[in-house]
Structure 1
């Protein structure tokens, strides 16, 4: 044994060839601080080992190395000087691998991401098996590669390919990595280790010139000035168009590559280190790392629920076809849970099957699946008009019209049909689960399962716990949502649940400005381009449906009469009364149609300006943001304080995945903390005269005064 640590072991495996194997105690290998120290110690030992002729770098697990330990980032990045020392020291560990006096070959299986990918770049050769996924996804955390990725990758696969890999953060298959020259060979998983040994033997024998393969990584980038300039200009244009000003990481990656291009390894690494450290102090990085941590929390809860679930969902039924029902049925069948789609009208069943076929057809067009797979998925959906077809399923998803009386009758009827241990859920967006539960003899097996439209694209499912819902029911439904490929957030019952409840104060804040004469298109522009929402409140209202939004104001007013009173003279109510329902009938705040090339078009509706008495009152961008976001954040705080949602992290994920909250802001609570609790309280107080929804809770005021955080502990 040459070296033995907790996560790494090194030993000779054949004549002069050592194997450096990553073998962490946990489920995956990752570069936490302890592993980096062991990596350095192991490489130091190797460098002075007598008789060493070559090294292969392997993993004892089905995956190579998933990257750095992101759970350490928040603590590491809190101290600027500590961050500088850490990244400088850590990145030089990879130099130790690159500087070994013998040929090195990485054997890549499963994920080799971030630091895992960078470890392979420091080797002379890379062999991957067919399961390998390789990439540098750091931009998704608001960062750039920090262990030499911006320096080595351009010198291995060329600056154009490297810039695309790093600025997009995309994962790449072994075959695609081989096409650009990152991987030297792709083999079957069972042949990986032997292939790596064979390659290092060829290098030792002189059949492969490993010194020549290594040398370009130690020198300045070999590209002529014109070629490099054109590559950088193109990359800057693409990043500006796709990432925009809110995401500094891809811009910083280009700058690091540009500054390091004309320098040898040490100076190029220094350029990378400097850019990396700068990004660790940005709000975008803190937000995106926060998202990762919150997502891990939610996924951890889902895994725990799956283990606790006493009932496995093997078959499902959807009551109510049409677009939503068809979308739910498709998602279940696509993820391997056969589903019965039940309706009382054949036309609705045809529409539901048509929706599933349309989604699958687009997947075929894009080459994601073939026609055989499409037929198999469609055959897993059974359309029916008969109650009898539903009697043996494990779960029934009610997705009929959003009317409590209609839903109540359907639920009561289905309870008589299905097995006694079948779970019954309602896909409702606003109706109280406790109210619907009164229609059932056994409410313990009933809860809400709120999907978002379009079902196949929106990752969130709200699982709504009623007063009498059992823990077993919640666990089984969360497990089913996870199997469907969805992120499940468990919330307690209240009007609007979580996402819609906090959305309506936001829309009310918007409507208040329109009622004062502000231009809805100007508000949309500010909230999209400056705040970062995928669509502004007027456009969002049109997409959701003005009639739907107006109906929800009734529900919210019933639940929170003093904070969200219904105003029949508001913009939403007036448009609904005029039957301007938004995209669904082509007219809302905007008029919808097709342009000369047949593409969907959206134009401001001149008639709406007259209808709503819009005078073009000027409101500053800061005020527009404050008047929409303060009510939303306040409502999120109330939901947390009332126990509607269990944690700030889960609320952040719910709005990110359910509404498209700007990722670079990290979610409502991360945004609140970025603004600063005390600053937010002062801002809200400035608008407190506008109504109760602008008034902060005593709990928030006390937390601000005490300097506490919603993410502590």
Structure 2
């Protein structure tokens, strides 16, 4: 044994290799994956030093004993490391460069055997070796820009020299995970083989390098030298890319463009100078609010997945599911279930509704075929696992049912009671309601313990969130089965407790309430949309209401007003009510706050509409001037306060789950971290001060809770600093 650590071993003659070949194996103890924590990086430095001291070696294989290679750096350490400041981060990265450079400079050929995910820092380890072989199922990539940073351990230096500037920009700016076939085509790896041939392929490459057939020294030198681009080629590669990527990423996400600038600045430099440029740029991005929030979101997402995984372990297996109601939502649910491998019955009372549901599913499958993500044969198989029916004939075998009929408590209650009599006692019933109390819907059920909410967001195939709503009598078994099914469908389930609107809609409607008040005080709704879109929302509140549907919003608003009359009830007509009265329902009938025309792709395109503007004037009670900051405060304060109330009321278990639900469910700007991280960023005391000032004029919707005031007084935060 050359070296033995907690995560790394180095041995001669490992596997089927001869005694003059060393194998460095990553195998982090007590973990299911390999990741590069500070401790593991320190071990890697010691292991490389041991290799440098070893005599008579002819080659090195770097491998993994896990199912993955290395998933990247240990992101749980990031906030603590970032807090140490720019100088510390630069120095830290340069020390890692020294270790990685030592691998690259070993006096014998090196090869990495990539058996699974090699991402971020794991990919940067891979790039240090002279050669790379990859199993057919493995993936490789540098996703750092998705965390608001850039590759800081040589990715911006080595990858462009290996696969060319254009390809490297695409990988790094996009943060993509790339399949083995794509990596081979790009030249990122030298061979792709079945997993059981990985070691043999790596050893074969070392043998060919030792014999002189493969010139490893030339390959190595190419990674150390400046990029071979003349000034015109540099301009074409970098300037064009910066413009395109800036347009795609948007002004709130600077990392992709900064990564291109780093590649560009280092293009004419030798290895050490290019790495110094990379280390400095990494440190600057790491200290940004965007990086702080995106790293926080990653950790919150891991917490949400971990909690869902615990529920999933307790769940019964689901062989067959059913959806009641075959509209756009029902068809979308059926598609999602079938596409992920769970057969589903789709029932409606009308033949034309079933045809519409199948049409929706077929349309979504066809798009997958057009994008070459699905073969026509696979599409036919998956589509056939959706079985339309007008009767309950086969429902005796169904394990879980999603009721997705019209959003009316009486209709839903009748349908749920009816289907309960047609299924086995263990069948889980769920309702895809967006606002109606699960406890109320369970009142007429014989087995309320088998019932919970399963709230999908529209469009089902795109929106990642599913709210799993626990009623007063809902059992853990029902929740576990529903969470497991949501995970099987590729969704992110978050368990919440029952109340009007649950979590996401309960939080969203105070946001619309703030919008109503702005409009009534003379704010131009189109300007409000633009300000909130600039703030980071995918669409402003008026546009969002058009997409949701004015009638749906009005109904949900009534449920909210009944549940929380002090904050959300209105005596007078709102602009939403007036729009409904004038049959302006939004995109569904091509007129709402905006009128809608089809663009070249057949999608609705909003245009200003004089008729809508005239209706808005009917609710204006005052004429006030609002700054952009005023608009943001009036929109964001009620949304954030309602999130706080949901946490205090026990509707959601943790700040992380609350923030992830808003990001996944209504598109809260990810770079701002969620509503509770947004409060933390402002400072709880400053947020309370703003809320109290607004509540004096605008009432209870803007009034902070007593507990939030206490947090402000004591300097508490929702997330630890």
TM-score, shorter chain, exceeding 0.5: yes
Q: How far does residue 15 in structure 1 lie from its aligned partner after superposition?
A: 4.0
Corresponding residue for residue 654 of structure 1: 661
Corresponding residue for residue 450 of structure 2: 445
Corresponding residue for residue 6 of structure 2: 6
Aligned CA distance change for structure 1 residues 596 and 153 (closer, same or farther; 3 Å): closer
Q: How far does residue 90 in structure 1 lie from its aligned partner after superposition?
A: 2.0
Aligned CA distance change for structure 1 residues 331 and 568 (closer, same or farther; 3 Å): farther
Q: Tell me which moved more, 464-473 or 631-640.
A: 464-473
Corresponding residue for residue 358 of structure 1: 363
State yes or no: 1:626 paired with 2:633: yes
Q: Tell me which moved more, 690-699 or 612-621.
A: 612-621
Corresponding residue for residue 688 of structure 2: 681
In 2: Cα distance, 1:153 partner to 1:525 partner: 39
Corresponding residue for residue 53 of structure 1: 58
Q: Is the 8 A contact 1:568 1:574 kept in 2?
A: no
User: 1:444-523, aligned counterparts within 5 Å?
Assistant: 444-523=449-528
| CA distances 1:263-311 after superposition (whole Å, capped 9, x unpaired) | 21111111111111111111110111011101100110111111122x2
Corresponding residue for residue 382 of structure 1: 387
Q: Is the 8 A contact 2:320 2:398 kept in 1?
A: yes
In 1: Cα distance, 2:140 partner to 2:594 partner: 44
Residue of structure 2 aligned with 1:33, choices 27, 30, 38: 38
State yes or no: 1:697 paired with 2:698: no
Q: How far does residue 131 in structure 1 lie from its aligned partner after superposition?
A: 1.0
Gaps of 5+ in 2: none
Q: Is the 8 A contact 1:554 1:566 kept in 2?
A: no
Residue of structure 1 aligned with 2:646, choices 639, 648, 655: 639
In 2: Cα distance, 1:207 partner to 1:707 partner: 67
In 1: Cα distance, 2:602 partner to 2:69 partner: 48
Q: Is the 8 A contact 1:320 1:399 kept in 2?
A: yes
Q: Is the 8 A contact 1:553 1:566 kept in 2?
A: no
Q: How far does residue 567 in structure 1 lie from its aligned partner after superposition?
A: 4.8
Q: How far does residue 596 in structure 1 lie from its aligned partner after superposition?
A: 7.0
* SS class of match (1:391): helix
Q: How far does residue 68 in structure 1 lie from its aligned partner after superposition?
A: 0.3
Residue of structure 2 aligned with 1:338, choices 343, 346, 363: 343
In 2: Cα distance, 1:124 partner to 1:385 partner: 63
Corresponding residue for residue 115 of structure 2: 109
Q: How far does residue 87 in structure 1 lie from its aligned partner after superposition?
A: 2.2
| CA distances 1:402-421 after superposition (whole Å, capped 9, x unpaired) | 10111111111111111111
Q: How far does residue 598 in structure 1 lie from its aligned partner after superposition?
A: 5.3
| CA distances 1:606-643 after superposition (whole Å, capped 9, x unpaired) | 11111121888642111111110000000000000000
State yes or no: 1:228 paired with 2:224: no
Q: Tell me which moved more, 444-453 or 389-398.
A: 389-398
| CA distances 1:352-408 after superposition (whole Å, capped 9, x unpaired) | 111111110111111111111111111111111112221220111111111011111
Q: How far does residue 684 in structure 1 lie from its aligned partner after superposition?
A: 1.4
* SS class of match (1:89): helix
Q: Is the 8 A contact 1:595 1:601 kept in 2?
A: yes
Q: How far does residue 35 in structure 1 lie from its aligned partner after superposition?
A: 0.8
When normalised by structure 2's length, the TM-score is 0.97
When normalised by structure 1's length, the TM-score is 0.98
Q: Is the 8 A contact 1:447 1:469 kept in 2?
A: yes
Corresponding residue for residue 259 of structure 1: 265
Q: How far does residue 180 in structure 1 lie from its aligned partner after superposition?
A: 1.5
Residue of structure 2 aligned with 1:149, choices 133, 152, 155: 155
In 1: Cα distance, 2:710 partner to 2:211 partner: 71
Q: Is the 8 A contact 2:587 2:604 kept in 1?
A: no
Q: How far does residue 255 in structure 1 lie from its aligned partner after superposition?
A: 2.0
Q: How far does residue 84 in structure 1 lie from its aligned partner after superposition?
A: 3.3
| CA distances 1:82-140 after superposition (whole Å, capped 9, x unpaired) | 43332222232111111111111111121111011101111111111111111000001
Q: How far does residue 595 in structure 1 lie from its aligned partner after superposition?
A: 4.7
Q: Is the 8 A contact 1:317 1:342 kept in 2?
A: yes
State yes or no: 1:710 paired with 2:718: yes
Q: How far does residue 586 in structure 1 lie from its aligned partner after superposition?
A: 0.6
Q: How far does residue 451 in structure 1 lie from its aligned partner after superposition?
A: 0.6
In 1: Cα distance, 2:98 partner to 2:664 partner: 38
Gaps of 5+ in 1: none
Q: Is the 8 A contact 1:67 1:114 kept in 2?
A: yes
Aligned CA distance change for structure 1 residues 568 and 336 (closer, same or farther; 3 Å): farther
Aligned CA distance change for structure 1 residues 546 and 232 (closer, same or farther; 3 Å): same
| CA distances 1:192-245 after superposition (whole Å, capped 9, x unpaired) | 110010101111111111111001222222211221122110111012101121
Q: Is the 8 A contact 1:567 1:573 kept in 2?
A: no
Q: Is the 8 A contact 1:29 1:65 kept in 2?
A: yes
Q: Is the 8 A contact 2:134 2:191 kept in 1?
A: yes
* SS class of match (2:56): coil
* SS class of match (1:388): coil
In 1: Cα distance, 2:599 partner to 2:498 partner: 44
State yes or no: 1:139 paired with 2:145: yes
* SS class of match (1:562): helix
State yes or no: 1:431 paired with 2:431: no
* SS class of match (1:449): strand
Q: Is the 8 A contact 2:400 2:429 kept in 1?
A: yes
Corresponding residue for residue 79 of structure 1: 84
